Structure 1
Amino acid sequence: MKEFRLQLEKVFDFLGEIIAFLVIAIWAVYIIDTNFVFLPEVLRNIFAYVRYWGLLVLVAVEGFECTIKRNIIIRLIFYILLAVVVIFSFFPDTYNMLIAYVPGAVVPTTSTAGAFIHF
């Protein structure tokens, strides 16, 4: 099992390096485009999404690489925290649905959809 985890660590290390390079390249092109506006609107929108989600994927991959050599408690904590971030990013109204089950809780009436993605 230890050999498998060491091999998996190498895979996550390689993926992290590739993702980090791509995310930084996209950030650089996106920032240059804000000054000189040369990208088509569709590509600019795709780069904006990649800026947000690429960083989340990079942090997840690097977190997997870091926790693969730790004990199960540390890995479980990371997995739970990552799940919370992903769930609330994809489904921002989940908090309102969950808090509605708490007796006496005040549920906000405004939607937070899209609150995590800023362009």
Structure 2
Amino acid sequence: MPDTSELRRSAARAVPLAHRGRAAAPQAPDPEADDRARRRAARWQAQRPFDAPGWFDRRLAADGLDPAELALLLGESPTALAARLGPQGWADRLADAFDRAPAPAAAPRTATSTPSPSSPPR
């Protein structure tokens, strides 16, 4: 059976931030992850239209988040996120499909048209 842990971590990262915030609260990230999360949020906030006063905070509020909650969510590792959110139905179905899929057959070898040393170049 193939290892599907990467698929499950990726599936958890695909969950929108608003939905991540509705699950049990994430644990505080380590200082390095917290710093990365704050830099990531700052990059988002610097993009249009969020660079205009109030826009970023209104966008977060629309999802029921504030800057501190966003930093917690962005600082969470994919492994911790996957464990906190639990199985994602679509990812489980995809993993099951990979588990049941037959191994691919080897591609047939085809003859190549390599010119022989006595052939003139074209």
Q: TM-score range by the shorter chain?
A: under 0.3
TM-score relative to the length of structure 2: 0.23
- Please identify which structure carries the higher helix content: 1
The higher-RCO structure (CA 8 Å, 6+ apart) is 2
